[in-house]
Amino acid sequence: MIGSLVRLELTMLRRDRRAWWSLIALAVLVLLSFAAIAGDNARSDADKRAVAAAERERWVGQGEKDPHSAAHYSIFAFKPSPALAGLDPGSEPFVGQSVWLEAHHQNDMLYRPQQNASLLQRIGFASPAALITGFGPLIVFLLAFTLVAQDRERGTMRLALGAAVHPRLIVGSKALAVWSAAAGLLVLPVAVISLLSLGIGGRLGGDVLLRTLCWALAMAGYLALLAAVGIAVSLRAGNARLALAGLFGLWILFALALPRVASGVVDAVRPLPSSQAIRQQMAEQAPAFWSDEQNARNRAALLKRSGVRRIEDIPNLRMAELDLMERHSHAVFDRVLGGFYGKVASQDELFAALGFLSPTIAAQASSSSVSGSDFSHHRHFIDTAERYRRNLVNAMNADGMAHRAHGTERHTNDARLWSRIPEFAYSAPPLGALSSTALPAFAALLFWLGIAGFLLVRISRRLRP
């Protein structure tokens, strides 16, 4: 029964060309933006793989040298695009894609895709998720207005209410029609195409499948709550003009105003230090050159660690000092950069929690989180690359410390050591491993779904012609 009603409501929507073509236009934009981003990512990933292979050859073929020099010679690590970046690139365009892994430094990541943004991205049609969360409400409200407010204005609602065994049948079928049209054209095709392209590219695993399903559910849930709100407002408004004004106002509030307000609140409540301040702290706490007093303390610590009384009895003093400096810097990086990254993460968590203010915020936060393109996933790469760097440098220093060399003597090694260092490989964490942002965002989406459903039920009970 309800299926047949929804089918007829969809027929009405299709034949009212204004609303339907607006939906089709947005659906085409969603697919175009996906194609643009997925294409860019595929090319970029292929480039990264090629350069990473060349980097490995350069590392292994660097010739005979002092292992600490090899640690400085080092290697680039490349971040593969998240599998679902075509659906929601999140912070990807604004964070670097590769990092130079060298001794003593946890370097900033380089190359931001935004530098090479396509025309589509530059004019704001950034991604499927951005289009759905930003323009989805406008289109869904237009569909709801077409099915409900115009019905009431025309007088069709009076006939429907006279005929219906229960008003919720009218309201439910209209809400389902709006939702199925929006989700069926805006979410389903791009999710299926994304899965197909990932399958063709050999990246379709269980986690990717689950993430795509969660993304589609989050977006479909978002559109469902918008459909319910759109129908409820259209039913509640005194006339069609008021309904249109109310819905347009809600779109501005949900999708444009509140996300900006939330961003401002987050910056005010949890401000980030400047990158200059972070660099300054690291330079002060992990300097490139130690003072004489610190050198003396370091040597005392080395004597204790080596269990000898004289500096000359340490097999390779230079390497031991470099190793000490390196390990000291690790603690500094963990404290300074870790604290900074923690603040960025807490900003994301607060922004997601502000999803209780606007469903658009909740949808944006949940989308980038399940797509693996939010900051928590980026940090996972940074941490993985940093662990690799530390292991590499520690291995180089350990080799040096294991071989006696005094004064200007240098222990050297060659490809036999270099090739023992495994190639850098990165796998994104499974869904659920990084849920600090996703949980409040999904909770907010569910909250909004509940509110919208409650509104719809309440209004359908009080429905009058």
Binding site residues, another protein, CB under 8 A: 1, 4-5, 8, 11-12, 14-16, 151, 154-156, 158-167, 169-170, 464-465
Rounded to an integer, what distance in angstroms lies between the CA atom of residue 444 and that of residue 20? 29
Per-residue CA distances from 272 to 123, 276, 277, 343 (Å):
28, 11, 10, 7
Question: Taking a C-beta distance cutoff of 8 angstroms, is the pair 161, 170 a contact?
Answer: yes
Cβ closest to another protein, residue 49 vs residue 154: 154
Tell me how far, at minimum, the Cβ of 234 lies from another protein, in Å: 15
Cβ closest to another protein, residue 15 vs residue 416: 15
Tell me how far, at minimum, the Cβ of 246 lies from another protein, in Å: 23
- Report the greatest alpha carbon distance in the chain: 101
For residue 42, what are the contacts with CB-CB under 8 A and spacing of at least 6?
Answer: 201
Tell me how far, at minimum, the Cβ of 238 lies from another protein, in Å: 16
Residue labelled with tokens 């919720």:
168
Cβ closest to another protein, residue 166 vs residue 406: 166
Cβ closest to another protein, residue 147 vs residue 396: 147
Helices (H), 237-274: 240-251, 258-269
Rounded to an integer, what distance in angstroms lies between the CA atom of residue 433 and that of residue 427? 13
Cβ closest to another protein, residue 11 vs residue 391: 11
Cβ closest to another protein, residue 157 vs residue 363: 157
Per-residue H/E/C for 103-153: CCEECCCECCHHHHCCHHHHCCCCCHHHHHHHHHHHHHHHHHHHHHHHHHH
Cβ closest to another protein, residue 264 vs residue 465: 465
Cβ closest to another protein, residue 20 vs residue 125: 20
Token digits of residue 12 = 């009405």
The alpha carbon of 84 is separated from its chain's Cα centroid by a whole number of angstroms, namely 9
Q: In the 8-state DSSP scheme, what is residue 313?
A: G
Cβ closest to another protein, residue 169 vs residue 204: 169
Tell me how far, at minimum, the Cβ of 357 lies from another protein, in Å: 37
> First vs last Cα of the chain: how many Å apart?
23
Find, among 355, 423, 416, 359, the residue nearest to 391 by Cα: 423
Tell me how far, at minimum, the Cβ of 28 lies from another protein, in Å: 23
Tell me how far, at minimum, the Cβ of 155 lies from another protein, in Å: 4
Token digits of residue 278 = 């972070």
Rounded to an integer, what distance in angstroms lies between the CA atom of residue 99 and that of residue 40? 20
Rounded to an integer, what distance in angstroms lies between the CA atom of residue 328 and that of residue 325? 5
Tell me how far, at minimum, the Cβ of 179 lies from another protein, in Å: 18
Token digits of residue 421 = 């260092």
Cβ closest to another protein, residue 4 vs residue 115: 4
b/e per residue, 339-377, with b = 16+ CB within 10 A? ebbeebbbbbbbbbbbbbbbbbbbbbbbbbbbbbbbbbb
Question: Taking a C-beta distance cutoff of 8 angstroms, is the pair 314, 306 a contact?
Answer: yes
Tell me how far, at minimum, the Cβ of 230 lies from another protein, in Å: 18
Tell me how far, at minimum, the Cβ of 224 lies from another protein, in Å: 22
The identity of residue 194, as a single letter, is: S
Tell me how far, at minimum, the Cβ of 462 lies from another protein, in Å: 11
